[in-house]
Amino acid sequence: MKKRVLILCTGNSCRSQMAEGVLKHYGADAVEAYSAGSEPSSVNPTAIRVMDEIGIDISGQRSKHLREFSKENFDYVITVCDNADRACPAFPGPVKRLHWPFPDPPHSREVTGEVLAEFRRIRDLIHVQFKASALTG
């Protein structure tokens, strides 16, 4: 039986989307991965771009509110930002809560070399943590 994993971040636009993509890419046989936010917006185009650079397509993902999952059972709920950790509601059933915080990438409309470099740095941190986790099988 696959482990059900929910990854939470405030906006569900960057960090949680990247983490969801990593789990789906490497753990498809072992994990059902979802992401959501307490204040969802939309998937950040720069996050899509830097994930595509490593062969993970998150362009079909969408930003979701955590209320969509409030009555669902999960094996793991992982928060990737401090705000989401504080705002995380209780979920039904036995759930293991993990807090793996990552820096927030710049929310700049202009995608400069510095912005891309920071997105790539955060992507790489998320990639290493989630790929190496026991969640991917």
- Of 30, 87, 88, 115, the active-site residue reads 88
- Of 81, 84, 122, 135, the active-site residue reads 81
Phi, psi of 51 (to 5 degrees): -70, -40
State how far the Cα of 130 lies from the Cα of 110, in Å rounded to an integer.
28
Strand partners, 77: 6, 97
Amino acid in position 115: V
Cα four-point dihedral sign 84, 48, 35, 76: negative
Q: Is 14 a catalytic residue?
A: no
DSSP labels, 81-112: SHHHHHHPPP-SSS-EEEE---PPPP--SS--
Cα four-point dihedral sign 135, 30, 76, 1: negative
- Of 5, 7, 9, 14, the active-site residue reads 9
Q: Is 81 a catalytic residue?
A: yes
Hey, which residues are catalytic here?
Answer: 9, 81, 88
